[in-house]
Structure 1
Amino acid sequence: MSDHRKTNFIDITVPITSDIVALYEILRSSIDPGVRIKASAHLLKLIENGVDVDREVILDLFGSEKDIKVATELKRALNKLKVIETYPKDPTSKYDKKLSPEEEASIVTEIEKLKRLYDKSSKEDGAFEKKYRIIERIADGGMGRIYKAFKLEDRQVVAIKFLLLEELAKQNDRERIIARFRREGEILKRLSHPNIIRGFEYGEAGGEYFLVMEHVEGETLEDRLKRSPLDFQTFKTMALQLCDAVEYLHKHQIIHRDIKPGNILIFEAEKDMRIKLCDFGLAKDKKDKKLSRFAFSAGTDDYISPQQARDARDADERDDIYSMGKTFYEMLTGRTLRNDEPYVEIELGKSAVSSRINEVMRKCISPDRKDRWQTGDELRNVLRSLG
């Protein structure tokens, strides 16, 4: 960890949709209210010119904004969206106006100016340290290290993941790993679900790449299962939450591709066990057309489907269902069902429940996608009826 960091805005390329993402990032992360005021005013212009924006993101920005002038501009943007949705044919909303190439170029130019303003305010020495104070190291992974940290602005405790530079230097595909890390940051910031870890910010500081996330006081499901399997009711409580989280992801066109006990955090809240799905480093955004031209495998052996093992580019919702089935099996038995071993029946106290849960598990991990549960909702409804 260096003493002096420079926080740089991550370059986002020319397409209009990507520049909207850049504008959201400026509004979310700039420490200069003047920059945020200009960005929010430009956002209103884009809405008036018919550019597609994400209402939920703007609502989130409005709810977390502490500067009254910026909040006022964001409120105006939300009001304009409401007018457009209520009166889609109102000529004053410019809802049907198609942007000309010149107007699109103007949008890109204006956001580039805002990005330069953002950079100017964030490239000062110590910008990262002015926002966060590291408390302790809490986890290590193959390519990353996670710290518990303190956000100075609002006294919030967060988790910050850094790419390990020494490991990164050993990799031939360094740029791909960095791009994947950035994509994880982009995906997490778009998601808002009680059973999915929240992402707040990502960037580069002093040559180190970081991702700021929600901090959860608990342990991984993997660590919990090392002690013993779960009783059925605890399993059911957690499994239903995981189904909710995965269905939410799929409705937002995200395939996780690495669901397993090690990527599920568990904690107690209001005398009940809660889960949060985390680690979106391998997640696939179905809306992202910039996929590799070459087949590759992604995920963790013994948890991924045969189809995902052959070519992760082709992974879909049913491959996440497969991984959930493997995870559910481990929750109830305390052991991993290896890919090269036959299915061993789960034995619970009630024979009727045991019989039905085995049917559910077998369907989850069917070799053929069309024979699996097709959605998280479908799987959740079946699990809810058990026990």
Structure 2
Amino acid sequence: MARNLEVPSLFPRLGGSSNDLRKSSSNTAIPSKVMSLQEVNLEKEFDVVRTLSEGSFSKVLLARQQGGGERMVLKAIHCEVTSAEDFSRELNYNYYLSPHPNIVTSYNVAFMWDNCFIYVQEYALYGDLSRHLKKGGLPEAQVKSIATQLTSAVEFIHSFQLVHRDLRPENILVFRKDLSIIKLGDFGQTRPSGVLLTKTTSNTSASYCPPEISELIVQEKYHCYASADVWSVGMILIECLIGMTPWTSAEITDPNYTHYVDWVKRKTLKTPDIFQVFTPRFIRLLKRIMEPKAAKRSKVGEITKYINDEWIIKGSAAVIAIRRASVERHESNATSKSGHRQRYYGKKRSTRSLVALESEIEVTSEHPVESVNERVGKWIDNSLKVSFSHPHHLNVNVGCQ
């Protein structure tokens, strides 16, 4: 018989609004207790529809309860690569934070199967945000919608004195095709603010990692703070707007990053090429949330003050040049053997002409151009839509009560 996980009642997990939860967060710690899970025969409890993704030590399955019901995601992590303590931490953080409308719902269900830890989440029909990033960037209105939702989710996490530590497009799931509903997931790297950590090669993706961590050597100790998440959010917004990140890594060995630092410190008056497409107001925001010194960096809530401002200089030559460079970068990634975006954009795509880019810039806010990945991923769009009418009352005969 499957043994249930124990859910502490002191935390306001079910019912109430996210504002109610935020008010209680200052004096309430999210529990991260180690649990003992029973081995369960997955085939007897679930109908596995298909494997969404699979690595050497983990897999994500799309399934539904035996006898019908809504689809859900089973996240399986092999016991060889994670401890019961780490699995419990990720499950608890995701479960207790999921009442927020922009955080992926994690159900109170967990068990063992095939030497893997497994827990259950809601299914994002349209995949992750990286699938939706267009060559040349998304329309500004969509980016602002993403910014509002992501800021709300990250601010909520920070209100519990937690740091996500792995903010990137791949960990932002899309629930509507127009990006009007996105949710933050993957809490495997989440830790309490101020905790002492050791840098590993898998801490976070290099492009989104802040300089105070990027510049450390492997195995060097450091304290994690919410300011690291703020930097990552800034990087995500830039990539959403122009279709690429401004540098490969925030290290002194990256010339694009060092140029940015010199510009922020006023050692040079030349604006970095990528930043020339942004309005003065948006540049002011970026300098605040992407301040190289973590202690001087603004909080993530600073973004909401600039939502009503223009972010992109529409129709300028700089915009056209940067977006053209973004197209060329995507084409290069698509034809490379190891480029992870190859499966989204295809192996052979002709670069759009400068005239086409100019046309796109003029109409992008009102008539968004359909992205190539949306056409390539039509099988997702034609999938059966999911309706979570009661997301926190999942009746499964394994897991928690």
Provide TM-score, normalisation by structure 2.
0.59
Q: In the superposition, relative to structure 1, how do residues 251 and 137 fare at CA in structure 2: closer, same or farther (>3 Å)?
A: same
Could you say if the C-alpha distance between residues 276 and 386 of structure 1 is closer, same or farther in structure 2, counting changes exceeding 3 Å?
same
Q: How do 1:325-340 and structure 2 match up within 5 A? A: 325-338=234-247, 339=249, 340=254
2:6 alignment partner in structure 1: 23
Take 1:355 and 1:58, find their aligned partners in 2: how far apart are those partners?
A: 43
CA distance in 2, matches of 1:278, 1:329: 20
Match of 1:241 in 2: 149
**Backbone CA RMSD of aligned residues:** 3.2
Partner of 1:18: none
2:55 is aligned with 1:135: no
Separation in structure 1 between the aligned mates of residue 276 and residue 70 of structure 2, nearest angstrom: 44
1:368 matched residue in structure 2: 293
Q: Deviations over 1:328-355 (max 9, x none)?
A: 111111012222223433455xxxx622
The CA distance in 2 between the partners of 1:248 and 1:384, in whole Å, is: 22
- CA distance in 2 between counterparts of 1:259 and 1:312 reads 20
Report if the CA contact (8 A) 2:172-2:184 is conserved. yes
Confirm whether residue 307 of structure 1 aligns to residue 212 of structure 2: yes
Question: Aligned equivalents of 2:221 and 2:91: distance in 1?
Answer: 20
Equivalent position to 2:163, from 238, 255, 276: 255
The secondary structure found in structure 1 opposite 2:282 is helix
Contact 2:72 2:123 in 1 (8 A): yes
- How far does residue 272 in structure 1 lie from its aligned partner after superposition? 5.9
Quick check: 1:134–1:150 contact (8 Å CA) kept in 2? yes
| Other structure's SS at 1:366 match | coil
Offset of residue 145 of structure 1: 1.3
- CA distance in 1 between counterparts of 2:308 and 2:293 reads 24
**Deviation string, structure 1 residues 171-206 (Cα, Å, up to 9, x no partner):** xxx454x53233211111111111111111233124
Q: Pick closer, same or farther for the CA change 1:144–1:230 going to 2, 3 Å.
A: same
**What residue number does 1:217 align with?**
125
* C-alpha contact 1:307 1:315 (8 A) present in aligned 2: no
Alignment of 1:202-213 (within 5 A): 202-213=110-121
Provide the secondary structure at the position in 1 that maps to 2:287. helix
Contact 2:128 2:172 in 1 (8 A): yes
2: CA distance between counterparts of 1:7 and 1:231? Answer: 48
> Match for 1:183: what amino acid?
R
Cα separation, partners in 2 of 1:295 and 1:233, compared to 1, 3 Å: closer
Larger radius of gyration, structure 1 or 2? 1
Contact 2:104 2:185 in 1 (8 A): yes
Write the mapping of 1:13-52 to structure 2, written as runs, cut at 5 A: 23-24=6-7
Equivalent residue in structure 2 for 1:193, among 86, 96, 100: 100
Match of 1:273 in 2: 180
8 Å CA contact 1:7–1:204 kept in 2: the answer is no
For residues 9-55 of structure 1, the C-alpha deviation after alignment (integer angstroms, 9 at most, x for no partner) is 6xxxxxxxxxxxx5318xxxxxxxxxxxxxxxxx7xxxxxxxxx12x
Deviates more, 1:252-261 or 1:150-159: 150-159
Instruction: In structure 1, give the amino acid aligned to 2:144.
Output: K
1:158 aligns with one of 72, 77, 85:
72
Q: Is the alpha carbon distance of 1:213 and 1:240 closer, same or farther for their aligned partners in structure 2, counting shifts above 3 Å? A: same
Using CA pairs under 8 Å that are at least 6 residues apart, name the structure with larger relative contact order, 1 or 2. Answer: 2
- Normalized against structure 1, the TM-score is what? 0.61
Question: Number of matched residues?
Answer: 268
Q: Which amino acid aligns with 1:230?
A: L
- Given the superposition, is the C-alpha separation of residues 272 and 296 from structure 1 closer, same or farther in structure 2, using an over 3 Å criterion? closer
Q: State the one-letter code of the partner of 1:151.
A: Q
Structure 1 position 214, deviation (Å): 1.0
Q: Which runs of 5+ in 2 are unaligned?
A: 17-23, 25-34, 261-271, 312-401
Question: What secondary structure is seen at the aligned counterpart in 1 of 2:189?
Answer: coil
Number of the residue aligned with 1:358 = 283
Change (3 A) 1:260 1:274: same
Task: Confirm or deny: 8 A CA contact 2:62 2:73 kept in the other structure.
Answer: yes
| 1:237 CA drift (Å) | 0.9
Read off the aligned partner of 1:188 and give its amino acid letter: N
Does structure 2 retain, via aligned residues, the 8 Å contact 1:296–1:312? no
Quick one: distance in 2 between partners of 1:231 and 1:246?
Answer: 22
**Which residue type is aligned with residue 57 of structure 1?**
R
Superposition map of 1:70-85 within 5 A: none
Deviation of 1:360 after TM superposition, in Å, equals 1.6
Distance 1:206 1:278 in 2: 24
Secondary structure of the structure 2 residue equivalent to 1:197 = coil
Percent identity of equivalent pairs: 22
Does the aligned pair in 2 maintain the 1:163–1:210 contact within 8 Å?
A: yes
Q: Which residue of 2 aligns with 1:72?
A: none
Partner SS state of residue 273, structure 1: coil
Gap runs ≥5 in structure 1: 1-5, 10-21, 26-42, 44-52, 61-84, 86-114, 169-173
Indicate the residue corresponding to 1:144 in structure 2: 58
* 1:57 aligns to 2:40 (yes or no): no
Contact conserved, 2:285 with 2:302, CA < 8 A, in 1?
no
